[in-house]
Structure 1
Amino acid sequence: MQSKVAQTRAQLESTLDEIEDKLNVPKQVGVFARKAQASYEDNPVPWVAGVTAAVAIVGGLVAWAVLSRD
Structure 2
Amino acid sequence: MTDTSPIESIETRIRTNRSELEETLDAIEDRLNVPKQVGKLTAKAQSSYEENPVPWIIGATAAVVVIGGIVAWAIFGND
Task: Write the distance in 2 (CA, Å) between the matches of 1:19 and 1:44.
Answer: 33
1:58 and 2:29 are equivalent in the alignment: no
Tell me the residue number matched to 2:4: none
Identical columns (%) = 57
**Shift of residue 5, structure 1, vs aligned partner:** 1.0
Tell me the residue number matched to 2:6: none
Choose from 3, 10, 31 the match for 2:19.
10
Name the aligned partner's letter for residue 67 of structure 2: V
Task: Write the distance in 2 (CA, Å) between the matches of 1:19 and 1:4.
Answer: 22
Tell me the residue number matched to 1:45: 54
TM-score between the two structures when normalised by the length of structure 2: 0.85
Task: Write the distance in 2 (CA, Å) between the matches of 1:69 and 1:14.
Answer: 60
**Shift of residue 69, structure 1, vs aligned partner:** 3.9
Which digits, 9 at most, give the CA deviation of each residue in 1:41-61, with x for residues without a partner? 000011001000000000000
1:27 and 2:39 are equivalent in the alignment: no
Task: Write the distance in 1 (CA, Å) between the matches of 2:34 and 2:78.
Answer: 41
TM-score between the two structures when normalised by the length of structure 1: 0.95
Q: Which runs of 5+ in 1 are unaligned?
A: none
Task: Write the distance in 1 (CA, Å) between the matches of 2:55 and 2:11.
Answer: 55
Across the aligned residues of Structure 1 and Structure 2, the Cα RMSD in angstroms comes to 0.8
Q: Which has the higher contact order (CA 8 A, sep 6+)?
A: 1
